[in-house]
Amino acid sequence: MILIFSLSILIIFISNIMMFLSVILSKKSFKDREKSSPFECGFDPKSSARIPFSLHFFLITMIFLIFDVEIALIFPMISSFKLVNFFIWTKMSFFFLLILLIGLYHEWNQNMLNWTK
């Protein structure tokens, strides 16, 4: 019992020393304006370093990811064709593809498939 207690005290002591050393050694002595500014061939930047985010591109990306996942869900339906009843497989496939087509029609109706506005 004393051995476990002394080892735990030693481990806590060593970990505290390591954390203290990391705090001391990682401190920056000064903040330089030139080091924190974006580098553009030695000149001051003429415009903002941040590019405005395109919400339309984000929405097209989300549509692509949704349909990509849906395609990944279609592949097991193909391999399960011979394992299940044909009538049930046809109904499930038709229902799944109908949901996909309704989603595609909704996105087309909302003009989400246009690349430019």
β-pair partners for 96: none
Residue 46 domain-assigned (yes or no): no
Tokens of 32: 């330089």
Give domain status of residue 10, yes or no. Answer: no
Find the domain containing 72 and state its range.
55-109
- Mean pLDDT, the chain, as a whole number? 80
Within a domain: 97: yes
- What is the per-residue burial (b if ≥16 Cβ within 10 Å, else e) of 26-52? eeeeeeeeeeeeeeeeeeeeeeeeeee
* Domain presence at residue 4: no
Q: Is residue 90 part of a domain?
A: yes
Dig out the tokens for 61 from the structure.
Answer: 């990306």
As for how many domains the chain has, the answer is 1
- Residue 12's pLDDT is 95
Using a cut of 0.75, tell me whether the model's pTM lies above it: no
Residue 74 has pLDDT above 60, yes or no: yes
Answer whether residue 68 is part of any domain: yes
